[in-house]
Amino acid sequence: KIYQASTTAPVNIAVVKYWGKRDPKLNLPQLLNLSNSLQADLRTHTTAACSASFPASDSLLLNSSPQDVTGARTQACFRELRSLRAALEASDSSLPELSTLPLKIVSENNFPTAAGLASSAAGFAALVRAIANLYELSSSPTELSRIARQGSGSACRSLFGGYVAWQMGTKDDGSDSLAVEVAPASHWPTMRALILVASAKQKKVSSTSGMQTTVATSELFQRRAEIVVPKHMKEMEKAIKEKDFEAFGRVTMMESNSFHSTCSDTFPPIRYMNDVSWAAVGVVEDINRKAGKIVAAYTFDAGPNAVIYYEEANTDIVAGVVKGALGSVSGWESRDIKPQASDVL
């Protein structure tokens, strides 16, 4: 007999960035952070199966190629989920013993892997949720976020759609470092995002090693941790609550700039944005100048790709103009994303 369950999880893009760990093993962040999920289009679809008839060791296929599952991050997720299932089995002897069976996981991304499009976030969130479904665990998304975080920090936010905050927590074991929903995507139905793929190549500096070096060498990071991020989190939560796009856009852009500045201030410096990324910044500035207010906002993660937020009513003056202006800049490929309600998760 083969037991199986499937799910999907969205890519999420941080509008207040996570960068810096207080515990690299548990992926405990030094700072609060907040994201918006881009779920309609960019997703990982994962099926988790287990059976006594499978080969003895666990396996994972991503876009049809076998992945190493022996790494500490994947192992931590498997271990945590198995122990929750084992507890369930211990409390109800009528349940089949799935916790000891080998797992076979099959995942598909519909976007380039590891190009700064937060693929590890959607990947680990879908993996954790699929196994939780297979094991029929009653855990809430917040409870599962504790496990997904150990796969990749930003993955804890991909268990939700909409606007999600990741609380840094204070406990050493990370049990209070969890993702919570700030607002569902349906709270702000006119919000739109455009992804500009500047390069689908794998990034040169992984987030994990990049953030370790930043914490160790950048003094600007200290200021970011103490002053900038707490301020941005407060402003961002208010902007989302009030659906104030100008405030949302201003904080989103200043956050991205602050994050990439600490990357430049890292020694040796880290450079994720390239000339094509800066061309996108220029186009957004032009659009906002012409509109006389903030109608478009860019943000960049650990890669050169841009995410541009705007409201539906401004589609022509933002998405239309961005595509027109960057059409002449080589290397861009664009996709429209409409964040949707969290119930599609």
- Using CB under 6 A, list all residues that contact ligand DP6: 14, 17-19, 27, 33, 118, 120, 152-154, 207-208, 301-302
Choice between 104 and 260, CB closer to ligand DP6: 260
- Residue 65 beta carbon to ligand DP6: minimum distance, rounded to whole angstroms: 20
Choice between 84 and 156, CB closer to ligand DP6: 156
Choice between 33 and 46, CB closer to ligand DP6: 33
- Residue 315 beta carbon to ligand DP6: minimum distance, rounded to whole angstroms: 26
Question: What's the CA gap between 327 and 55, in Å, rounded?
Answer: 50
Question: What's the CA gap between 333 and 195, in Å, rounded?
Answer: 8
**Which residues have a Cβ under 8 Å from the Cβ of 55 and sit 6 or more positions away?**
102
Choice between 15 and 321, CB closer to ligand DP6: 15
What's the 3-state SS for 187-215? HCCCEEEEEEECCCCCCCCCHHHHHHHHH
Choice between 99 and 119, CB closer to ligand DP6: 119
- Residue 207 beta carbon to ligand DP6: minimum distance, rounded to whole angstroms: 3
- Residue 124 beta carbon to ligand DP6: minimum distance, rounded to whole angstroms: 8
- Residue 302 beta carbon to ligand DP6: minimum distance, rounded to whole angstroms: 4
Kind of pairing between the strands at 33-50 and 103-109: antiparallel
Choice between 208 and 257, CB closer to ligand DP6: 208
Choice between 214 and 314, CB closer to ligand DP6: 214
Sign of CA dihedral 123, 124, 127, 130: negative
Choice between 19 and 188, CB closer to ligand DP6: 19
Q: Which two tokens stand for residue 322?
A: 């961005």
How many whole angstroms from its chain centre is CA 293? 28
- Residue 192 beta carbon to ligand DP6: minimum distance, rounded to whole angstroms: 20
Q: Which two tokens stand for residue 128?
A: 């954790």
- Residue 91 beta carbon to ligand DP6: minimum distance, rounded to whole angstroms: 33
- Residue 154 beta carbon to ligand DP6: minimum distance, rounded to whole angstroms: 3
For ligand DP6, the nearest residue by Cβ is 153
Question: What's the CA gap between 319 and 226, in Å, rounded?
Answer: 35
Give the residues across from 5 on adjacent strands.
Answer: 48
Helices (H), the chain: 72-91, 119-134, 141-151, 207-217, 219-223, 229-242, 245-264, 275-291, 315, 321-326
Query: What does 6-53 look like in DSSP terms, one character per residue?
Result: EEEEEEEEEEE----EEETTTTEESS-EEEEEEEEEEEEEEEEEE-TT
Q: Which two tokens stand for residue 97?
A: 């013993």
Give the residues across from 9 on adjacent strands.
Answer: 44
